[in-house]
Structure formats: C-alpha cells, structure tokens
Structure 1
Amino acid sequence: MTETIALLPHALPTCANARLALFAMRRMGAHGLADARASHAMFTAFGQGFRRPLVLMRTLMAELAATAAGTIAIAPCCCARMTPAESVLLAVLTRIETAPDVVQLLMADLLGVRRVESTLMAAAALSAAFADEGRPFG
C-alpha cells in the first residue's frame, strides 16, 4: 500500500470536468491520440460541441509529447489516484487563466525545458474550450 501511495501520491480530483480531462489524457497517452474511448467520453460529456475540446485535448497531448525532454508518467485509467505529473497537468489546466506565471514554472519543471509557450497555449485553449461548453475546471 505504501508503494502505491509513493508512486501515486495524489487523490483523484473532485471536479468531474477534471476527471474527464484526466481520463482523456490517460487514454490518449496510453493508446494514442485517436483513442475511441477518449473520443466517446468527450462526445458523451459535451454532446454536439465535443469536437473543439477533443481536438484541443489531442493538441495538448501532442505538444506534451513533442516538447518533453523525458517521459511523463501517467497511470492506467482504472487507478483511483494520480501521478505527480498528472496532478501538475490538472493544476495547469485549472490555474492557466488565474496564475500564468505559476503554471509556466510548473510546466517547465514537468517537461524539463525552458520554452513551454506552445504547450501552455494548447493548455489555455483546452481550458477555455471546457469553460465555453459549461464544464470549467476547478
């Protein structure tokens, strides 16, 4: 049990919208950007307005993969806890509008690079898409 808590130290978010984003990140991270279950979850949550959040989630995941200097640890979808990297990603999505300086440092630490502007733009667009569809993070 203590090994699990050491590897997955963070509890799942209480926000249903953050849990949806986490699910989509986990599925796309493990099974590719075109994962059908991630697409179905976004369609179920957003209805006809699913395309923008889905495309922006794919964009964020592609930016993370292209920019990261190392690997980003993600847990399987069935895990009831989060990795530190997943926690940082959700913190970035939640705080991108209110604390841009903080999220820039968080993202730079996560990715191991200094230039994270393109990744932050993708995160900001995704956060805005969720909010515009009535599913803000937080």
Structure 2
Amino acid sequence: MIQVLQKLPGSLHRQVQIRYPFQASSVVENTNVLFKVNTDIGEIVVMDYRFDDKVFVRSNVCPPCNSIGFTLENGTLVCDSCGTVFDAETGTGIGGGCVAFPKESIPYTISEDKITMKLDDVVTAHEKAIEPN
C-alpha cells in the first residue's frame, strides 16, 4: 500500500506525492523489492533496490515479454521472463531480446527514513519504459 501525502484537485492530480511503504534503511543490498502504484493509467509496478550502497527506484516492466519481475544479480537486473540483462546502475540494456526498453529511473527523496516520489514521476518513468529506445 502506498501512502498518499498530498491530494490535489483536477488536472494537478499527477503531482501527488507518494511514500514507499517501507523504511529506506530496510532496502537490503542486492535485493530487489516490488510495489504497486495505482494511477489513472492503471496499476504500475515499481522496483526498488540497493546496489553499491545506493538506493535505486525504477519502473518494473519488460514490455515485449509482458514481464514485471527482475532479479538483481552481479550488478545487473535480469528479466525473470526473457532473461534480458540491464545495468543495475543505469538501467540500460546490456543483452537479450528486450534491450531496447531500458529500466527508467524514478526520482525520489529520503526523509525520516521514508522514500518519497511524485506520482507524475512514476507515470513518466513507466511511459518511457514501455517505449523502445
């Protein structure tokens, strides 16, 4: 469940800020965690992981194979469905059938040990991730 921090009327609804439901300090090194965000374009799955002592938040979708799961291993994100490999730090495709669909980063802040991002940024990253590069 995502906590909505601010509700705005009408056309400003995509500027809503959302807070990740877990503490930032609980994101374990080399572990990928998924969560879902409900938006007006549908449910978006987001991944967050800690790699090289930095937290990353990205759109979690592999459009050609319809996968929403990635395994973090050896500095890469590997699609659980097709095996395409992406760089864990940049999200850029390295090898496999879906390399043209990089994993887009979602800007965030950490305050009081909570990861917070804008709903608009989640939607934008998802929209970029479903278009070939």
TM-score w.r.t. length of structure 2: 0.29
Higher RCO (CA 8 Å, separation ≥ 6 residues): 1
Higher strand share: 2
Q: Which has the higher helix share?
A: 1
